[in-house]
Amino acid sequence: MRIVIGEDDALLREGLALLLRAESLDVVATAGDAEELLEAVETHRPDVALVDVRMPPTHTDEGIRAAVEARRRYPKLAILVLSAHVEQAFATELLAGGSTGLGYLLKERVGRVEQFLEALHRVAGGGTAIDPDVVTQLLARTRSDPRLERLSPRERDVLALMAEGLGNSAIAERLVVTDGAVHKHIRSIFAKLDLPPDDENDRRVTAVLRYLEDVRRKG
Amino acid sequence: MATQETARSGLRQAFGRSASRGLLGLEQLIGGFGTAIAALALLMIVVATAVASLVGVGLPAVPAVAGAVRALANRERHRLARYGVDLPELDPPPHGIRGALADLSLRRELGWTAVHATMGAVLGLLGALLPLFALRDLTFFLWWWAGPAGSSASSIGVGTVNSTLGALWVSLLGLGWIAVVVGVVPNMARLQSWPARRLLVPDPSVDLSMRVAELTATRAAALDAHAAELRRIERSLHDGSQNRLVAVTVLLGAARRSLVRDPAQTDEILERAQRAAESALAELRAVARSILPPVLADRGLAGALTGLASASAVPCDARIEVAGRCAASVEATAYFVVAEALTNVAKHSGARQAELTAALREGRLYLQVTDDGRGGADATAGSGLDGIRRRVEAYDGSLRLESPAGGPTILAVELPCGS
């Protein structure tokens, strides 16, 4: 897996590179701002770009905009955005064009190396990785939705992990249940939310996220 | 004996006080006579303009006349300030005829012009004549014989004097004039300034709206400065300390992974993690210090400023007379003002010597940093001084910078103490 890192903080940039290289991943270039990042993507054509949201000059959402732009130029490029804090607007902006090969994680998740690598591989493989905090925020404001009220606690857990982008077997592993049980829960969730059942993972994530986003907006 | 002495000196003091009150009253009356004559002239012009306007030809002169009324009123306000009558001076009336006519304060000033031109002039004239009468009558017995026979009389023209004895009676009248000056003149002066005290105060509604506008502006500036300060703190926390701590967790994660795979490398990664943690601590300390310098809490403003002066790269004399304490935010502002000023002196001025004075008087904090450098400093947008200025103004203070090319540079800041 070939990776480009866009992170303006030198110490953190080197830390990330060190960690990934130790895991035998190929960090082909590192960049300190959005412009350098786009150049590096152009030059190296990596599989994944790891991007910090806040970069010079204004330290607001340069990373997000660079990611959206890079994606526009290279639709096959997978992008994992790292953020110092959860910002719903960033996630929405990033996922506006679908969730295939996209991720949005809090920076400190990188320290949980195993889960981080899992998320990185998922995104590189065309999947999705949404930070649990983003999902929690989405779910926290959905109490007003009568259809979500119908979900059992277990189904809510499954829904949250689905929204994070986990596949059936990964959800089963997290919740320590069988794949079959997860499958059953998911069918029940889709029925209760009036969503068309879909076994394709990325479309499923998009549907769930969009549903939650809609509910949040109305609430 | 002792009580007699005290009584006598008390009497002397009382007499001295009355005399000085009388003299001050005379000065006020006579000064008022001057503005009253001006008011009389202006009143004629106003009447002439009004009459001319009725037939249509006077209108173009209205703005100029309005401006003259305002100017004379301001002159009177300024004059009366000497005698403890506090009347804020007003800006020139709005341009144009309509604006001038709608100016409520101007209408009141016109009323004052009329009253002052008449009553003020009479009182002022009396004030000018009284000392002359007193002098004339007091010295009458010395020169009465020089006048034409049968025509010499007292200043008020009563009685004809034919003998030194009669002249002495007139001189007694002179003493009476002095008694009048001492006893009545202060009241006359108060009467003369009464129309001004009633009519030259800003129209109540104008005063209030001026105050509201002023408060709104300073409050908005305070909120701006507050928001900018919060943004600065948020940014230094997110992009500084938080990134350091994220690096710590990333490196700790890497270290745990390498424990199994490559224990030799683990120590190196842990070493990096530790350094990242240390620099996170340093950043946090810097952020905390930038919010409220701990030295202020430890040593007070006086101690903190002395510390700044002695740490200055350019030798700096400090004269600090700050006995009390101010609001914490004001002290922090004062501290940053001085720190920034001394940094500028060291960085840009090329000065060999600097001086810091700080004084706390009547609830206001006065700071001044002077250097003998090359001058040419500016506090316009974008400079470090501009940030300082906004911070100072947010606390209702003021900043003055004098820095001619060639020096010296003087930065003076005044802050309300807020406690």
Residues A139-173: tens digit of each pLDDT: 876 666 788 888 899 998 999 999 999 988 999 99
Which positions in chain B touch A112 (Cβ < 8 Å)?
Answer: 253
- Compute and round to an integer the Cα radius of gyration of chain A: 17
Using an 8 Å CB-CB cutoff, list chain B residues near A11: 243-244, 247, 276, 279
Please check whether residue B341 is in contact with residue B379, taking contact to mean a CB–CB distance below 8 angstroms: no
Judgement on whether residues A83 and A150 belong to the same structural domain of the protein: no
On whether both A100 and A174 belong to a single domain, the answer is no
A97 and A69 in a single domain? The answer is yes
Smallest CA–CA distance from A11 into chain B, residue: B247
CA A12 – CA A16 distance, rounded (Å): 6
Domain ranges across chain B: 2-202, 206-291, 294-416
* Same domain? A93 vs A192: no
Mind telling me how many Å the CA of B277 is from chain A's nearest CA?
Answer: 11
Q: What is the CATH number of the domain that holds A142?
A: 1.10.10.10
- A154 and A105 within one domain: no
Rounded Cα distance between B268 and B274, Å, is 10
Inter-chain touch B250–A112, beta carbons under 8 Å = no
For residue A191, the one-letter residue type is A
Give the domain CATH number at A126: 3.40.50.2300
| B71 shares contact with chain A (CB less than 8 Å) | no
Contacts of A85 in chain B (CB under 8 A): 238
- Position B2 scores a pLDDT of 52
Same domain, A76 and A175: no
- Show which of A130, A161, A183 is a domain's final residue: A130
Contact A11 B261 (CB under 8 A): no
- % residues pLDDT > 70 (chain A): 95
Predicted structure pTM score: 0.57
Q: How many beta carbons lie within 10 A of that of residue B288, not counting itself? A: 13
Residues facing residue A30 across a β-bridge: A5
Cβ within 8 Å, pair A108-B245: yes
Peptide bond preceding B93 in cis form (omega within 30 of 0): no
Inter-chain Cβ pairs, chain A and chain B, closer than 8 A: 67
The parent domain of residue A49 ranges over 2-130
Q: Which residues 64-123 on chain A approach chain B with CB closer than 8 angstroms?
A: 84-85, 107-108, 110-113, 116
Q: Is this complex scored with an ipTM above 0.90?
A: no
Nearest by CB: B247 against A11, A85, A116: A11
CB contact at 8 A, B241 and B295: no
A122 and A140 fall within a common domain: no
What does pLDDT average to over chain A?
Answer: 88
The structural domain count of chain A equals: 2
| Nearest beta carbon to residue A12 from set B246, B254, B256 | B246
A108 and A168 in a single domain? The answer is no
Nearest to A16 by CA among B283, B282, B276, B236: B276
The crossing angle, in degrees rounded to 10, of helices B2-54 and B121-138 is 140
The count of C-alpha atoms lying within 13 angstroms of the C-alpha of A6, restricted to the half-sphere facing its C-beta, is 32
pLDDT of residue A90: 84
pLDDT value, residue B377:
81
Q: Which of B239, B250, B261 sits opposite A111 (nearest CB)?
A: B250
- Output A131 or B23, whichever has higher pLDDT: A131
Q: Does B246 touch chain A (CB under 8 A)?
A: yes
Same domain, A119 and A159: no
- Determine the pLDDT at residue B414: 92
In chain B, which residues have their Cβ closer than 8 Å to the Cβ of A20? none
One domain, residues A24 and A115: yes
Last residue of a domain, one of A130, A160, A187: A130
Length of chain B: 419
- For residue range B182-240, list pLDDT tens digits in order: 888 888 888 999 898 888 887 677 667 777 777 777 677 667 767 777 877 888 888 78
Q: Do A18 and B251 touch (CB under 8 A)?
A: yes
Residues within 8 A of A (CB atoms), B 123-162 only: none
Residue B148 pLDDT = 64
| pLDDT of B25 | 86
Same domain, A126 and A22: yes
Fold of B294-416: Heat Shock Protein 90 (3.30.565)
CB-nearest partner of B242 from A18, A19, A84: A84
Q: What is the predicted pLDDT for the residue at A204?
A: 79
Nearest to A22 among B245, B249, B254 (CB): B254
pLDDT for res B380: 67
Q: Which pLDDT value is given to residue B277?
A: 93
Cβ separation B279–A54 shorter than 8 A: no
Mutual angle of helices B62-81 and B164-199, in 10-degree steps: 120
Contact A18 B269 (CB under 8 A): yes
Pair (A39, A118) in one structural domain: yes
Instruction: Lay out the sheet containing B316-321: strands in order across.
Output: B316-321, B354-361, B364-371, B409-416, B398-402
Which residue from A minimizes the CA distance to B242? A84
Q: How far is CA B207 from CA B113, B202, B211, in A?
A: 21, 6, 6
DSSP 8-state symbol, A151: S
Of B247, B258, B272, which is closest to A22 when you measure between CB atoms?
B258
Give the residue from A115, A130, A145 where a domain finishes: A130
What is the pLDDT at residue A26? 96
Pick the residue from chain B with its C-alpha nearest to A60: B235
Residue A82, Cβ density class (10 Å: 0-12 exposed, 13-18 middle, ≥19 buried) = buried
B233 contact residues in A (CB cutoff 8 A): none
**Cβ separation A15–B247 shorter than 8 A:** yes
Q: What is the mean pLDDT of each run of 10 residues along chain B (419 residues)?
A: 62 77 86 92 91 84 89 91 81 80 84 91 88 82 69 65 74 82 86 88 72 74 71 81 92 92 90 92 84 83 91 90 84 89 88 93 91 82 73 83 88 84
Residues A182-202 have a mean pLDDT of 82
Among residues B77, B108, B99, B102, the alpha carbon closest in space to that of B90 is found at B77
CA–CA separation, B412 and B355 (whole Å): 12
